[in-house]
Structure formats: C-alpha cells, structure tokens
Amino acid sequence: MFIMPGIYKGMKRGPQVIQPKDIGIIISFTGIGKESVCVDAGTGSGWLAVSLARICKEVYSYDVREDFIKIAEKNRNMFGLSNLFLKKGDVTKSIKERNVDLVTLDMPSAEKALSSAKRALKVGGIVVGYTPHMEQAKAFVMKLNSLKFRDIMTVEVIVRDIMIRKEGVRPSNTGLWHTAYITFGTKT
C-alpha cells in the first residue's frame, strides 16, 4: 500500500495533481532550498506549488483559471504560506518574474511556455516539464534543444510497493504506475 504523507491528506483536488513520488524528484534533482525563488504553472490544485513553498523562499504560481486558483488558495491557506503568490495569467504569453532558480511547467503544450520560462530563469536555473505522454515530452525536449538549454534529462519515477509477508516477499500487483515523464533542463 502506498503511503500518502499526512500533509496531502486534507488538501483539496481540482484538476489532476502532481503525486508525492514526482514532487520528491523535482525537489531533489533541482536542488532547491530556503534561498530559492520559483515560478510554477499551471497552479491547478496547487499541490506542487504548496510543496515548493514549504521549502523555498518564494513561489509564484500562475493559472489561467480563476476556479482552480480558488482551490489552490484553500490549500495554501491550510498551511499559512505567505510566500506562495497565486497569479492569474497565461505563461505562454509572459512570466513577470526574473532571475528565478526554478520554473515548473505542468500544463498542456508546456513547450509553448519555454521562451517565457527562459526569460524568467537566471543562468544556471532549471526548468522542469511534467508531461503525461511521451509525445509531449519529446516536443518539450525539442524546444529545450532549440533554446539551447543544457543538461537535458527526462525520467519517469516508478515506485514499487513490496509486500513482505510470512508466505513470501514480492512486489504488489497493483499500485500507482504511470503518472508523467519529468524533463529537466538548465538555462545556459
């Protein structure tokens, strides 16, 4: 059985959320911490935005939909996070922040937001694309190449639940399998 950390149990859900297994690798592979400033889009239910704001200095999270921002607002307020700023806006058109450490993109056609993301990032800053389909991951990587990002890597996080019982030890035949392909790129 998969453990859902307590912090996520009371959180509201609107659109599909990023699961804790994927949030973990986003945090560890980008190396963000208490000095980091991040931009996130789309906010959706704010699961990733809240997780980032719990460990970073500031998080600016954009969504085009007011109704989803309201759900995320409830989740933000549950944790009293005054460093999480929820903004209405289309990140394919613009991201206002500059010199940020991380931009996370979990939205359809995420590659269309990469030019804005590049302008927002500092040199050495990292962009993350969260794409459910391989074709979307490919489009994201092609655009990263054309924008001259470096250290491009796409991964999938597969967590296997191992059942340990008297009669035998084996992986469970159920569980959370595919969620998304996660691509990382560094601004040059």
Ligand X SMILES: C[S@@+](CC[C@H](N)C(=O)[O-])C[C@H]1O[C@@H](n2cnc3c(N)ncnc32)[C@H](O)[C@@H]1O
Residue placing its CB nearer to ligand X in the complex, 18 or 141: 18
Q: Does 46 bind ligand X (CB under 6 A)?
A: yes
Site size with ligand X, rule: CB under 6 A: 22
By CB under 6 A, tell whether 47 contacts ligand X.
yes
Contacting residue, 25, 64, 81, 152, with ligand X by CB under 6 A? 64
Q: Considering only residues 37, 42, 131, 144, which one is a binding residue for ligand X as defined by CB under 6 A?
A: 42
Q: Are strands 121-131 and 100-105 parallel, antiparallel or unpaired?
A: parallel
Residue 20 makes contact with ligand X by CB under 6 A: no
- State which residue, 6 or 108, has the beta carbon closest to ligand X: 108
CB 8 within 8 A of CB 79: no
Please tell me the distance from the alpha carbon of residue 152 to that of residue 156, in angstroms, as a whole number.
14
For the bound state, the minimum distance from the C-beta of residue 163 to ligand X, rounded and expressed in Å, comes to 29
Task: In whole angstroms, give the CA distance from residue 12 to residue 74.
Answer: 8
Report the alpha-carbon distance of residue 105 to residue 41 in Å, rounded: 5
Token pair belonging to 162: 């191992």
Stretch that binds ligand X, among 25-33, 60-68, 146-154, 178-186 (CB under 6 A): 60-68
Which of residues 2, 16, 133, 163 is near ligand X by CB under 6 A? 16
Within 13 Å of residue 170, how many CA atoms lie on the same side as its CB? 5
First to last CA, the chain: 42
Closer residue to ligand X, CB minimum distance, 11 or 37: 11
Strand 121-131 to 181-186 pairing: antiparallel
Q: Is 181 in the site for ligand X (CB under 6 A)?
A: no
Residues 118-177 that bind ligand X (CB under 6 A): none
In this structure, which amino acid lies at residue 142? M
**Least distance to ligand X from the beta carbon of 173, Å?**
28
